[in-house]
Structure 1
C-alpha cells in the first residue's frame, strides 16, 4: 500500500508475514529498543548452520571449503558496497562495531595531526564519535608534544537541530577533521549532511597531498538502519555503521573510506591477512591490496556473511523486488532494489514514530526531545516525565512486557547540554517488524506507569519474559 505522498508502506498482512521470520513474536515480546539493537531473522541462523557445514578460513587454504568460504566472504563486501553505493569493495574495512570503525580512523590519522590543528564535532554525538577525539586531543597527542583542539558545535535545545552557523564558526584552516552524526540516537535529529560537507570543504585546511578542505567523518549507525545511505551523494570521506541495528547479529561494523585515503593511510592493526603474501623481510613489509590491507588477523567470517545476507533478506521481506529472491545468493544486488527496500523501511518506521510521538505527547508532564511532531527524525522517541525517573518508567514498561531503554543512550554530552539530571531519558524505537499495536501498547504502558507508579515499583518482569514458552 502507499501513503498520500506515494511512498509504499507495509500493509497489515505484509507485517504479519514479516514477523513470522522472527523468534520474538512467539514469546509475545514487544520489542521497542531497536535503536540499540534489532532482532535477527531466524533464516540467518539457518544460513549460518548451513555455511558451517563447509566452514573454513578465508585466504588461507586450497581446499574446496576454504575456496567457497572465501568466495562468500568476498562477495559480502560487494553486497555491502552496493548497499551504500560505494565504488567498490576496496573502500570498505570490517570492524567489530561502529565504535571500533571510528577509532580506526583516529589511530590511522593520528600521525598526520600537526601542532595547532583541531577536530570539530558536535554536542549531539554518540560518545563513540566524541570520546576518541577527546582522547586524541587531551591524552594521546600531548604525549608527543602536539597541541590539537577538540571543538564542539551546539544544537538547538527546542528542536534538536544542529546549529550550522556555530559549526561553521568553529571550522577554520586548521580543522583537519569534521565529525558529525548521521542521525542522533537520543534527539532523533538527522543533520543536513550536505551543509556539513560544504562547511568542511570550505575550511581551507591543507592536506598532506596538497589539496584543501577538512575531512568529513559521518557516524551513520542510526541513519544506516532507517534510511538509504549513499556515500557518493554524501561525499563523506569516512562513514561508519554497524549491522546489528539492521537485522544482523552482533559483531560487525563497517568503515567506508574514499579509496584515495585508503591507499595513503597506514593500517589500523598489523599482522595476518593485511600482509602481502610472502612479503615480510628483516628490512621491510609489504601490505596486501585493498580492502585486505585493513584486515589484520582472522576476520569475523560468519558475521560478515550473515550481515550481507541480512541486507539481501530485507529486500525479500519487504517485497522490494517481487520478481526474484536475493537471500542466499551472491548475485550482484540491484541498486533499485536497495532504494525500494530502504524507502519502505523509512516510511514504515517513520509512520510508527509519528504515531508514538502523538500518543506520548498527550501524556501530562511528558516531554519529548528533538524535532517536533511532523519533522523528519530517526525512528526513535526519547522522553522524560516530570516527577518520574526514566529508569522507573523503563522498569514499569518491562513489567508490562514492553522493552525500552532508560539511560543516556551514549549521548551523554547532549543530556548534560540540556541540563537533564541525572543524564538519562527513556526511549522507544522502531523498525521494519514493528506494528501499530506495538506503538499503542507502548504508549498505553507509559500512561499506566505515570498514572500508577507504585503499582510497578516492585513489579516482577512480565510473565512472558520471565518464563517464556519454548519456541516451536
Structure 2
C-alpha cells in the first residue's frame, strides 16, 4: 500500500503499486502523461476485481444463496463508500453508471425531456466537454429549449459577469465542468450554484477531472447533480457515478427500464424501486462498483489534499520548463488555485498529432487532438492541442524527459 507523510508523498511506494509503469518500449521506459484520459490502475484495485470473480461472482438483488448475498452486500456498501468519498448524504444519492457521459445522459433524458420546453434555457460554458455540450444541445432540439454559453476570458477563466447575465429566471439547468480537461481551469462551481439557485435553476457539475485530483464535497458545492468516472481515479473502466440530491431523484422518472429497478409489475403498469436502484436497470456493473470503492480507499489512504498538492507542483514545474522556450504556446490560466494538474500546449510549426507520434518514439504518452472539446478549440483558434496530464505516480524527472523529447521534435521540424 502506498504510504504518506503529512506533506510528502512517497512516490516510489506509490509507483510500486502500478507495475505497468515499469513497461519499456525498446530501450525507453514508459512515461505516462495521459492521465486526464485514463489513469493507471493499482494492484489493490486489480486484486479486488479478481477477488470478486474468484470468490463471489453472482448477480445482486436476485438470489437468496450465499454468493448472491455476499455480492449484494459488497455492491451496496460500495455505494456507501463512494457517497462518503464525495460528501453525499448516503447511498440513495449515488447511482452507478458506465461513465460521466452516461450520468449526464441519465439526467438529460430522465429530467430534461420531461421538464424542458420552449422558453426554457440551459446554460453551459464555452469549455464544456462534448459529454455535456452535445447532450444538452440535442435535448434542447427535442424540447424547444435554448442553450446559452458562458464566455471564457483570454486566460481561459469563466467570465462571471457574463454568467450572471445569462443565468435568469428562464434558466432551468446550469451544466458546468468543474475542471476543464483542456485549459486546466478550476471553475467557481460553488458561486455558480448560488447564482443558479437564486433563479430556481438546477446545477449539474461535470467532475470527471476534479474528483480524481482534489477533495470534492458535493454538499458543500450545493450541486444538484454531480458526475465522474472511475477510470480517471485509479478505478476500472466501465464504471461511473451520478450524484443527485435525493429529493430530486425521487421526483424524476427513470428512463431505463427492466429488472431490479421495479417494485411491482403487472400487465398494465409498474412501480419503481427505491433509490438508487430505481436508476440501475438490469444487471449492474458489480465488479466495477466494488473496485471503485477500493479505488476510493486507495486515494483516501494517500490523502486527496496530497494528490492535489502533488499535481499542482507538477503542473507548475511543467509550465516553468515550457516557459524556457519561445515556440511553445500554453493554453489556460497560470498555475495556482485556478488551475489543475494538466497542461495543453502546441509547439510552433508542429501539428499536435505529429508531436504525439514523435513523443511516442520516446515512450512518452500524451494526448493530442481536440479532447472532445471542438467548440472550445474553435474558440482558441487551433485545430488541436497536445496535452500532458499528471497524477500521483508522476515525477519531475518524467517532465524533464517530456521536455527533452519536445526539443528533439522541434529540431526535427526546424
**TM-score of the aligned structures, taking structure 2 as reference length:** 0.95
For 1:429, the equivalent position in structure 2 comes to 389
Contact 1:242 1:252 (C-alpha < 8 Å) held by counterparts: yes
Separation in 2 of the partners of 1:450 and 1:63?
63
Q: How far 1:453 sits from its partner (Å)?
A: 3.3
Matches within 5 A, 1:9-88: 9-10=8-9, 14-27=10-23, 28-53=29-54, 54-88=56-90
Do the aligned partners of residues 440 and 200 (structure 1) sit closer, same or farther apart at CA in structure 2, a change above 3 Å counting? same
Contact 1:35 1:429 (C-alpha < 8 Å) held by counterparts: yes
Separation in 2 of the partners of 1:236 and 1:48?
31
For 2:131, the equivalent position in structure 1 comes to 128
Provide the aligned length of Structure 1 versus Structure 2.
403
2:405 paired with 1:445: yes
Do the aligned partners of residues 312 and 179 (structure 1) sit closer, same or farther apart at CA in structure 2, a change above 3 Å counting? same
2:295 paired with 1:310: yes
Q: Residue deviations 1:10-66, cap 9 Å, x none?
A: 2xxx11111111122221311100000000012222222222122110001111111
Matches within 5 A, 1:216-295: 216-276=203-263, 279-295=264-280
For 1:95, the equivalent position in structure 2 comes to 97
For 1:297, the equivalent position in structure 2 comes to 282
Between 1:395-404 and 1:439-448, the stretch displaced more is 439-448
Separation in 2 of the partners of 1:307 and 1:94?
10
Q: CA RMSD in A?
A: 1.4
Q: How far 1:374 sits from its partner (Å)?
A: 4.0
Partner SS for 1:132:
helix
Contact 1:367 1:384 (C-alpha < 8 Å) held by counterparts: yes
Contact 2:81 2:293 (C-alpha < 8 Å) held by counterparts: yes
Q: Which residue of the other structure, out of 113, 118, 141, is the alignment partner of 1:115?
A: 118
Separation in 2 of the partners of 1:380 and 1:64?
46
Q: Which residue of the other structure, out of 328, 334, 339, is the alignment partner of 1:366?
A: 328
Q: How far 1:412 sits from its partner (Å)?
A: 1.4
Name segments (4+ residues, structure 1) moved above 6 Å.
none
Partner SS for 2:346:
strand
For 2:26, the equivalent position in structure 1 comes to none
Matches within 5 A, 1:315-354: 315-316=300-301, 318=302, 341-354=303-316
Q: Which residue of the other structure, out of 187, 196, 208, is the alignment partner of 2:192?
A: 196
Separation in 1 of the partners of 2:48 and 2:99?
22
Partner SS for 1:358:
helix
Partner SS for 2:184:
coil
2:351 paired with 1:398: no
**TM-score of the aligned structures, taking structure 1 as reference length:** 0.83
Separation in 2 of the partners of 1:20 and 1:453?
37
Contact 1:221 1:242 (C-alpha < 8 Å) held by counterparts: yes
Separation in 2 of the partners of 1:61 and 1:373?
52
Larger radius of gyration between Structure 1 and Structure 2: 1
Contact 2:45 2:234 (C-alpha < 8 Å) held by counterparts: no
Q: How far 1:199 sits from its partner (Å)?
A: 1.5
Contact 1:160 1:187 (C-alpha < 8 Å) held by counterparts: yes
Q: Residue deviations 1:393-445, cap 9 Å, x none?
A: 1111111110001101112111111111xx21000000111112111111221
Partner SS for 2:211:
helix
Separation in 1 of the partners of 2:300 and 2:190?
27
Separation in 2 of the partners of 1:361 and 1:272?
56
Q: Residue deviations 1:82-108, cap 9 Å, x none?
A: 000100000111110100100111001
Partner SS for 1:183:
coil
Separation in 2 of the partners of 1:194 and 1:247?
26
Q: How far 1:7 sits from its partner (Å)?
A: 7.2
Partner SS for 2:7:
coil
Contact 1:98 1:219 (C-alpha < 8 Å) held by counterparts: yes
